[in-house]
Amino acid sequence: MEQTKKTIFSAVQPSGDITLGNYLGAIKNWVNLQDEYNCIYSIVDMHAITVRQTPAELRKRSLELLMQYIACGIDPEKAILFIQSHVPAHAQLSWVLSCNTQMGELSRMTQFKDKSKKHADDINAGLFTYPVLMAADILLYKADLVPVGNDQLQHLELARDIANRFNFHYGDVLTVPEAYIPKAGARIMSLQSPESKMSKSDPNPNGFIKLLETKDDTIRKFKRAVTDSDNEIRKSPDKPGISNLLDIYCAVTGKTTEEAEAEFAGKGYGDFKLAVGETVADSLEPIRAKFDQLSKDKAYVEEIYKNGAQQANYIAQRVLGKVYKKVGFIV
């Protein structure tokens, strides 16, 4: 890693097929940042098991997620790509940090509250301490910047609090990270219920766009997107469906809201939804093609995650060693 460059860490859970929300809120920005920063991107399988998973599917999805990172444009020559469970320091640092995190802090996490409602039959301790593991992910690599969607801001704020507290008690060891939230695409909403976030675990498949689904499916879902009854294409809090489509269009094309509104002024909702659907489908086409190509080259994919684990382990061990020393473990 180049010493002069700042470091970025981010991750996605392999808990379902990734969506347009994951892409526009996170991965697309990772691609843009990889020349300017030392980048480390993980597939966080240890986070995924906070919700019950089918083991064979988890294995398959972890590899597919790695292939999707690369298909989206992340260059394994520039960024370190690794699978979280291949680096034991994540669990080890997580333990130390959990002894520096308050129950009250974790109880306030909105994602914990939401997920406890959704999985009322399995409110396990991992679900509760998950933000501590996320803090360990980030702090192990001395990340300066963490590019995430809006929904991860609260977890990132907690990671900062934990780092500051640790540094206060033990001396300056941990780098306090900053969030990097994209201007457009930080919160992509469901196409069917635009007041809730687009999510890979949504039971209604028409609500989300999978990165790897067919062009026809993508366009069909956009054509069916829920809008409103006033037929005006403008961004407004009382028009969540249209606002979401405009956000998606802007995040994909790089246009501003004003430019997009001007482009579609006077057009009907049908034409607008079709145009957004086609734009999204066209932008995802090369990702699908690259993914298909990668899925034929298992050896290459294996080489990447093995190499990534080696590099990640090296960096993580050094930070963990410092932390262990500070807290009084014999190292």
Identity of the residue, 189 or 262, whose beta carbon is nearer to ligand TYM in the bound complex: 189
Binder among 74, 93, 146, 320 for ligand TYM (CB under 6 A): 146
Binder among 8, 25, 64, 248 for ligand TYM (CB under 6 A): 25
Binder among 86, 165, 187, 255 for ligand TYM (CB under 6 A): 187
- What is the Cα–Cα distance from 88 to 136, expressed in whole angstroms? 11
- Minimum Å distance from CB 297 to ligand TYM? 25
Is residue 188 near ligand TYM by the rule CB under 6 A?
yes
Question: What is the DSSP secondary structure assignment for residue 41, as one 8-state letter?
Answer: E
- Minimum Å distance from CB 330 to ligand TYM? 29
- Minimum Å distance from CB 268 to ligand TYM? 27
Is residue 319 near ligand TYM by the rule CB under 6 A?
no
Is residue 142 near ligand TYM by the rule CB under 6 A?
no
Identity of the residue, 154 or 279, whose beta carbon is nearer to ligand TYM in the bound complex: 154
DSSP of 131-183: HHHHHHHHHTTT-SEEE--GGGHHHHHHHHHHHHHHHHHH-S-S---EEE--S
DSSP of 300-324: HHHHHHHHHHHHHHHHHHHHHHHHH
- Please choose, from the candidates 138, 180, 179, the residue with its C-alpha nearest in 3D space to the C-alpha of residue 162: 138
Torsion of CA 13, 14, 19, 23, to 10 degrees: 60
Q: Which residues are catalytic?
A: 115, 197, 200
Binder among 151, 228, 261, 278 for ligand TYM (CB under 6 A): 151
Contact range with ligand TYM by CB under 6 A, out of 145-153, 165-173, 215-223, 288-296: 145-153
Strand order, beta sheet including 178-180: 79-83, 38-43, 7-12, 145-147, 178-180
- Minimum Å distance from CB 32 to ligand TYM? 14
Identity of the residue, 76 or 194, whose beta carbon is nearer to ligand TYM in the bound complex: 194
Unique residue bearing structure tokens 């049908």: 270
Residue type at position 122:
D
Is residue 44 near ligand TYM by the rule CB under 6 A?
yes
Determine the residue with CB nearest ligand TYM: 25
- What is the Cα–Cα distance from 243 to 191, expressed in whole angstroms? 11
- Minimum Å distance from CB 144 to ligand TYM? 13
- Please choose, from the candidates 213, 238, 189, the residue with its C-alpha nearest in 3D space to the C-alpha of residue 24: 189
Contact range with ligand TYM by CB under 6 A, out of 4-12, 67-75, 219-227, 307-315: 4-12
